[in-house]
Structure 1
């Protein structure tokens, strides 16, 4: 009797990864059974060992710097091989905690692996459009042969042992055969979209699958003798279930399904098993016939046809209900957000809380549109488009030139030319991406800042810039990898600090929260080619991101060193205060009183408290209560003459306070005093330089958006010039020049600048910057400086 997927039922669910499980593989065997390997976007690899009918997490490996894309187990060597978005391959011995080897050579994401023809060797495929055959000798020396010929990312590799050949499949829709020397032997054409998976079968047969939702069966002569159709979206992977038959294969994909096939007859064996997740990223089969899947919901699932290994009726029923609920939710969601939870047009009657804030609005006809708060009114940005179906344009996954991206924007450069594709991944530096975009499309260099800000705005909540991820970094205030008062040298926005590309413990600054980040990636917006004037800059820069858990840990550490007379409080009080760091905190009088109490701590213990304060004062109501009730400005301003950590946090407070009307009014009344204190800072870290520059930039933005005051222009210009005398960081200098440029757009600002800043001074500063270690990023500062010179 032919096996069928109808006989399979859920055996167990393995929970442990915090993000998508991108890859699963059959692991080493023991007397208890065969282990399971899994890799995730959370950058970890886990080994799950069988205990009876369950699996327990026995080992976690976290040596990659970015998400795990593929796992391969080599039984003869007992090697666990892992591939990653960080362009490396790590090799572990079974039960080893650290890699015995790290293979480097690919120029981009390594997305697939397989055992090679010889012992101690493997083949890999990469987004860099190449495959490599790696060999490791007994002494640990590594050599590789490059397979070069694809015109796009190499998504799949396989080894044909009996033919002594390799096979690769790529985003160029092509399949190539190679010999051991790396010479191209054969080209197979047939797929109409990216080839995502390859599987070698007995008799030199080959299976391929891809984004065209078709599995192709190729014979020894390179002819496609059969197509297996049934999936309704991208097919990500296949696995042979040898325990059932050498002709039985399972597959998985973007249609949330696991399917079983007889590749000889082309028949689908039984009904597909649907999952309560959008993407079933990976599938593997164990020697006992059980099937394992890894999904976008972070869960590993094991299915078995043996009744004794199947889950209880209650667990299986819960799984079925979860599948049904997911199917129902998908019909009511757009970009992962339920339409029924979105506000209607009446929400546009309420003013925005900050420049650049966005709202998704449900229309009476069921459509969803995005609006942005700009210059005192809600402006339509575009339609929000959902993700469903089996094509690249309608799938939940974004591809550009065969590579996956979190966002692929359609950028309209003019009314007479078609949109240009702008790909972007979470964690990339928007300015680096913008520079590549400009070079690729032959656009003027003057567009750099505008394109970068376009990326920041339309991927809000997702862009992260981490300038130092080295494990050897030692902070001068706290040391090690513990909580530090700022770890990024930019104020480009960060997400929830759990991004798969940059890591869960990053601590960076960001621009203001725009709300519905999931939907922003699907907004159809325009970039106006002719609008290349860099001034005025009128979007406030804010410092929003905070790892509250680490801040709380540091506060507890300091609190435990204090006596009651020195200001020691209970942990409950600390927990209350930390809640003020939330994006929309409750206006809790007890929490505010406790915060003021903590601000009386010794100066060397103050920076985590100031870190909470700079988040709390973003909210106008909280700042107003703190200022009116406790004169918070009087409390914090003396710290500008204190320790560098406290200076940093106070400057971030001041920058955030300038984003609302009450804060601007208060700072303006004390501006000469504040700038006098700021000008006393003549050296500092990159973070400190950027904090000073951002304070000045926000101060000038308030002048361009309101009534310009000569006294304010003069004192701010003087402060900016003093900063430029010692600042060395390009981003700080860039924001300083943006500040001067802002003032040139105001009548009294032009007169003031003419008195304080000279053309020669700006030229000298630009010349100095070209000699900095960051000179590879000099372009955007240089372009802005030239525009500034033209405005004098």
Structure 2
């Protein structure tokens, strides 16, 4: 029996995000997803139907385990808990609490109703489930990074595989007895083969077969990317197993090698595989679909389903090879990226589920669809008139000298591409200092001609649903970005499409720029501002609240309301009356303050206005408002961020720095926007500290950052916070900062987890900055 004999049996649709785990239950399949649900699919005829949805986790579900022949179903989540269900129940009989981070893997224990779990908190735990009350047994402590795989061996050992690249063996008492070393990257899967034998797989794209004394007796190769999952297929043979990978394929093996050709799936990531008692193979993938493959012709999918699957697979293969402006189409962000705010004027190309590529621009707090994008690279230099660089067509390929002793490196650029994004991508690729971003971007702008992107559809004046393309309003909710192009990730914000007309070839006489190499992510020298605002909406809200104010003294006139609009302008004029009105409005009830504070944060961008507007009493009001509501917290934080962009504001913040940091330390949870605002505040402080370091401010900033990092979850906020920590290590008091960071285990653990964690497309920069921080510490 080989994998070539397997065909698609059915596809199960119901999850809305990645299916991270699959397992076999009693006459059913169980799946778990990033959409925070687990689903039970009952067998019916030759297929399966959705029967039950489990919804008790507060964050994505990352692991599954079925105990006692299907009598207990366990789900492990990013919320650090394990829910235990009986078949048919939608309420857990118990919730196991003890891990402090994502429960990433689980396996049955040695005793009845027992479970072993592994977590990103670097520990494994052994649980016993007695009635409706759990009792925790030993903790397995010793790994230096997240645990991604656990298995129990019939010889009496628990085995754990970790992002620290090690495999540990533990006895039943929880004592570490031996370690297997050999993987060069994160260990992601473990299975027992025979009695006491072990097979492992990992992010190094290898499968290793181990002897009992820790020698790797055989390595199997075939996958071209991370191997996330593996499962025994005992219905085929005692040593037959199946693997799933980031290369979109599943493969079947035995101890001698691969059994047949790979099956390609129409999804980027095969997160999980399970092998059923009848020999069928179940997969959970990043396209939110559960698929079943069978060797039994009676269970093959019908012709219509099979044809649609094959078409999707072929499209996947085409997409994997297709390139657009130097980026693989398959690596372009999906429609979910439109739920993240951008910068005014920022453009991005999005790959929709139907394969269509659309160009969007962030305008007035919304992603506006500009039209279809054309130009996946398929021509040649002869017929396109463009320059070929590394097999890809570009309008320009500039020469950049990084040193006198090294040859020039190439900087490719397409007309219509955001020069800041091209510069950022160039800096990341060649590991150049972030401080050179502006220099490289300005060099591109100066030496290239900017034109509009090529569109096959007219520019749309309305909104388009990022998932369907239909008209729909996409709420902005305020900006959580900066006008600092250096803060934008080129892998999510880049606009790298083909221009409308070809440019002439760039020769060796092309313009050159000369820079020198250094650190990638810090020190970071550009400050952040929150600029974007729809003033009409803010003024309408103010007008609405104005009618609710009971005191005649505090109400404002229509003329005063119109005056306030002057403070939202890029270059305000005749704003004296507006400042007086704003002072009056700050006396409004606390639940009506947030639109006032929204105008306030725009006004304080200007040092002249800030010096008049922010009196000591006004500064005190801002600090007090921070504790009054979530909306006020966000707006006040953005006020302080914007104040830190000029000397007047820096001095004001410095005068009450302890009180401001104290207020931020009281915040223990918050929205994505609030998290980004807080980390942006600290980033601006650290930019200022690199220039003029103050020992006490460095200490307080580090303390505040560490407190916020304990609860922050947003990836962009974490990246900015890590940039801030990196900046602090570059001050004369960096040793103090390093000692403070190392003393906070939960923050250090989170940083180390990011070194090996698999992150959404566009946030690989967190892996890089985590490594840089670890090296700096």
* Range into which the TM-score falls when normalised by the shorter chain: 0.5 to 0.7
Distance 1:62 1:80 in 2: 13
Q: Could you tell me which residue of structure 1 aligns to residue 708 of structure 2?
A: none
Residue 31 of structure 2 corresponds to residue 35 of structure 1: no
Distance 2:191 2:125 in 1: 18
* CA deviation map 1:353-382 (0-9, x unaligned): 6899999999964478999xxxxx964662
Among 311, 317, 329, the alignment partner of 2:301 is 311
* CA deviation map 1:120-174 (0-9, x unaligned): 110011112111111123462412211112222111110112x121111111221
Distance 1:182 1:785 in 2: 44
> Which segments of 5 or more consecutive residues in structure 1 lack a partner in the other structure?
29-33, 344-349, 372-376, 387-392, 395-408, 416-495, 499-504, 543-616, 627-631
Q: Could you tell me which residue of structure 2 aligns to residue 287 of structure 1?
A: 277
TM-score using structure 2 length? 0.60
Q: Could you tell me which residue of structure 1 aligns to residue 622 of structure 2?
A: 724
Among 590, 600, 606, the alignment partner of 1:683 is 590
* Aligned positions of 1:475-554 closer than 5 A: 509-512=478-481, 519-520=491-492, 529=523, 531=525, 538-540=529-531, 542=533
Partner-residue secondary structure (3-state), 2:172: coil
Distance 1:186 1:696 in 2: 61
Residue 73 of structure 2 corresponds to residue 166 of structure 1: no
Farther off after superposition, 143-152 or 299-308: 143-152
Distance 2:669 2:93 in 1: 37
Distance 1:656 1:732 in 2: 17
* CA deviation map 1:583-617 (0-9, x unaligned): xxxxxxxxxxxxxxxxxxxxxxxxxxxxxxxxxx4
Contact 1:700 1:743 in 2 (8 A): no
* Aligned positions of 1:85-234 closer than 5 A: 85-138=78-131, 140-161=133-154, 163-234=155-226
Distance 1:53 1:411 in 2: 57
Among 268, 272, 287, the alignment partner of 2:258 is 268
Contact 1:195 1:208 in 2 (8 A): yes
Distance 2:319 2:563 in 1: 41
Contact 1:252 1:280 in 2 (8 A): yes
Q: Could you tell me which residue of structure 2 aligns to residue 397 of structure 1?
A: none
Distance 2:110 2:562 in 1: 63
* Aligned positions of 1:614-763 closer than 5 A: 617=534, 637=543, 639-642=545-548, 661=569, 668=575, 671-672=578-579, 674-675=581-582, 678-684=585-591, 691-701=595-605, 703=606, 714-715=612-613, 720-721=618-619, 723-724=621-622, 726-729=624-627, 733-738=636-641, 744-745=647-648, 762=656
Q: Could you tell me which residue of structure 1 aligns to residue 320 of structure 2?
A: 330
Figure out how many residues of one structure are paired with residues of the other and give that number: 552
Q: Could you tell me which residue of structure 2 aligns to residue 487 of structure 1?
A: none
Contact 1:290 1:304 in 2 (8 A): yes
TM-score using structure 1 length? 0.59
> Residues 66, 507 of structure 1: CA spacing in aligned structure 2 closer, same or farther, 3 A cutoff?
farther
Q: Could you tell me which residue of structure 2 aligns to residue 239 of structure 1?
A: 231
Contact 2:530 2:641 in 1 (8 A): no
Q: Could you tell me which residue of structure 2 aligns to residue 6 of structure 1?
A: 4
> Which segments of 5 or more consecutive residues in structure 2 lack a partner in the other structure?
334-346, 350-359, 376-385, 395-410, 437-464, 468-473, 496-517, 628-632, 695-777
RMSD of the alignment, in Å? Answer: 5.1
Distance 1:261 1:690 in 2: 61
How far apart are 1:291 and its partner, in Å? 0.6
> Residues 766, 296 of structure 1: CA spacing in aligned structure 2 closer, same or farther, 3 A cutoff?
closer
How far apart are 1:45 and its partner, in Å? 0.6
* CA deviation map 1:20-70 (0-9, x unaligned): 111111112xxxxx2111111111111111111121111111111221111
Distance 2:477 2:492 in 1: 21
> Residues 669, 330 of structure 1: CA spacing in aligned structure 2 closer, same or farther, 3 A cutoff?
farther
* Aligned positions of 1:270-419 closer than 5 A: 270-333=260-323, 334=327, 365=388, 366=392, 379=420, 382=423, 384=425, 412=433
> Residues 102, 411 of structure 1: CA spacing in aligned structure 2 closer, same or farther, 3 A cutoff?
farther
Distance 2:693 2:207 in 1: 60
Partner-residue secondary structure (3-state), 1:382: helix
Contact 1:258 1:274 in 2 (8 A): yes
Distance 1:39 1:4 in 2: 28
> Residues 682, 370 of structure 1: CA spacing in aligned structure 2 closer, same or farther, 3 A cutoff?
farther
Distance 2:654 2:367 in 1: 37
Partner-residue secondary structure (3-state), 2:177: strand
Partner-residue secondary structure (3-state), 2:585: helix
Partner-residue secondary structure (3-state), 1:243: coil
How far apart are 1:314 and its partner, in Å? 2.6
Distance 1:238 1:43 in 2: 23
Partner-residue secondary structure (3-state), 2:204: coil
Partner-residue secondary structure (3-state), 1:177: strand
How far apart are 1:694 and its partner, in Å? 3.5
How far apart are 1:497 and its partner, in Å? 12
